[in-house]
Amino acid sequence: MSRPYDRKSASVRVTPEPKDQWYVLHVLSNKEDRTVENLNRLFKEDEEMNRLLQSPPLVPKEKVEDVRNGKKYLINRKLYPGYVYLNFELRRPDGSLNNEAWYKIQAVDGVISFACGRNKEPLPMPAKDVRELMAEIERRSGAARPKISFTVGEEVVVLDGAFQGEHGVVEMVDAERGRLRVGVTMFGRSNPLDLDYTQVQLVPEDEKGKA
């Protein structure tokens, strides 16, 4: 899924089993984790709400490699900023909405609204969208991805090694491994260098071609 499920005109034809009911909460940006803490506090303190909870609130994330001053850092980046996914029995088997539970969730600090619904009533995500969400989370759960991306033809400067300080042109990009092939011209010859993303940085527009 490229974005959180947000279908305003959907209708409930068959109510999913409790374990298959997933809802999207629109929450305050940059407060996703804090909102999850507040939700968990509600479930811990309210026995009935905890009984309806099918699995912990979810903020999908991926590991990303960031580079600052030539050093590599691992960070957890949210896949869908501003959203929390809730696996919760909000609708009964007959399709009716548990209004009390709905109001309690909306009253949690950080929650703005349910991101999908009809006549302002929340609807569970379609099974297809739930499968796509889980597949995307699984796909992003592997090795950390580089936060910075490079494109063939871009000018970069080498940050370390024998060619430190030299400018070069990106000739090949291996985004999965975070590796580049950079052509650095020395004494009239182009020298291909296989480098890690952390070993180069983009040359600012006003400095291009000055090396």
Q: Where are the domains of the chain?
A: 18-146, 155-204
Return the pLDDT at 39.
98
E strands along 89-148, which residues? 111-114, 117-118, 121-122, 145-146
Return the pLDDT at 118.
60
**CB-based contact 8:116 (threshold 8 Å):** yes
Q: Which two tokens stand for residue 171?
A: 């000739």
Return the pLDDT at 10.
47
Amino acid identity, residue 28?
L
Q: Which residues of 77-98 are buried (b: 16+ CB within 10 A; e: fewer)?
A: ebbbebbbbbbbbbbeeeeeeb
**CATH code for residues 155-204:** 2.30.30.30
**CB-based contact 116:129 (threshold 8 Å):** no
**CB-based contact 114:122 (threshold 8 Å):** yes
Is the alpha carbon torsion for 103, 107, 111, 112 positive or negative? positive
Return the pLDDT at 165.
87
**CB-based contact 67:156 (threshold 8 Å):** no
For the chain, residues with pLDDT lower than 50 are 8-11
Return the pLDDT at 99.
95
**CB-based contact 18:101 (threshold 8 Å):** no
The CATH number, out of the four listed (3.40.50.150, 3.40.720.10, 3.30.70.940, 3.30.70.260), of the domain defined by the range 18-146: 3.30.70.940
